[in-house]
Structure formats: C-alpha cells, structure tokens
Amino acid sequence: MATTSNHISSSSCTPCWDVFLSFYGKDTRENFTAHLYSALVRAGILTFRDDPELDKGEEISRGLLNAIHGSQLLIVVLSQNYASSRWCLDELVEILTCKRTSGNVVIPVFYYIDPSHLRYLKGGFKDALDVHKTRYSVDVIEKWKSALAEIAELSGYHLKTDATEYVSFPLFVVLLI
C-alpha cells in the first residue's frame, strides 16, 4: 500500500505514521517529493507516500484515509497541477479536516506557485476547477475551493523559481514529532 522504511499497515495503529505526504505525482514524484521522502526516511521519520501502483478509483481509498488520520504531521506539496487531480483535492479536504478536528500539524509547500493563486483561484488552479465543474457538483467544487483558500493561509515553505536556499525539512519535522 505505502512505500515506507518499515512497511507498516496504516490500519494497524493510530498514529502509525510520523508524516503523510500529499502531492501531485506527475509534478513532483520524481524530483522534490522523492528527495523529501528520502531525507525524511534517512532521518528515521516514518513517512507515508502513496505508491503509484495503487488503484486510483473515483473516491479516496479507505487505506489513504487511514494513513491521513494515522499521521502526526501532514505535508502538502502544492504544485501547478495539484488541483487538476480530484484525488489530491479530496486528500486536501481530509487533511484540513484532521487539522481542525484533531489538531494535526499541516505544512504546505508552495512548489513554484504563488499561494495567492490558491486563495483567489488564479492560473492553473482556476483552470483545473473550471474543468472539474463539468463533472462534479457545486457542493464538491465549493468544498475544494474552501480547502485551497484555507491551505493558502497557512504558514509553510515557499519555493520560488529564483530560490537558492536549501529547505531543511527533516530537522524541522524531527522537532515537531
């Protein structure tokens, strides 16, 4: 189900993960998220990252929900195409629900995007939701819009195209866990 250093089932304990990573695979799986995941695992942090071979149905899977709820820290890597995936948007809604109801810490990573694009639905985020409007109800779209606006308000890491700084997640995450 998940790729971890210890291969623990997400339904066997609560919490079972130190960190849950949410990301759009085509944008960051082979670069930023892969490096972040490796650094976290090397630091001894039990990290859930979805496996690209998982079945991607119309609804978020029970296993993924369990992993979100069973994680102490939730890192959301928001990239240009994140909102094009219903799967990612449903994860985001669930992640923010955990933040509100259970007090989980959520850290957004704005991966070469401006948080205001989420807040005000600009650029690729507006385009993605416009496409979703043809397939999903107004209620679902509003839920996703609210989640995007909410995550844009959180303090996190903002990677810019001209950024030269090194983002040191593992030390920060170790301090939180």
What's the pLDDT at 50? 81
Q: Which of 3-12, 23-32, 74-83 has the lowest mean pLDDT?
A: 3-12
Q: All domains of the chain, ordered by start, with CATH?
A: 17-176 (3.40.50.10140)
Q: What is the dihedral of CA 98, 100, 105, 108, to 10 degrees?
A: 90
Question: Catalytic pick from 30, 91, 94, 142?
Answer: 91
Please give the pLDDT value at position 161: 66
What's the average model confidence in pLDDT over 52-70? Answer: 70
Verify whether residue 91 is a known catalytic residue: yes
Read off the pLDDT of residues 97-149 as tens digits, 9 standing for 90 and up: 999 999 999 999 999 999 999 999 999 999 999 999 999 999 999 999 999 99
* Res. 10: pLDDT tops 70: no
Is the predicted pLDDT of residue 2 greater than 80, yes or no? no
pTM of the model: 0.83
Cis before 52? omega within 30: no
pLDDT higher than 60, residue 8: no
What does the pLDDT average to over 86-93?
Answer: 95
CA distances for 32 relative to 28, 65, 84, 93, 172, angstroms: 5, 23, 19, 22, 17
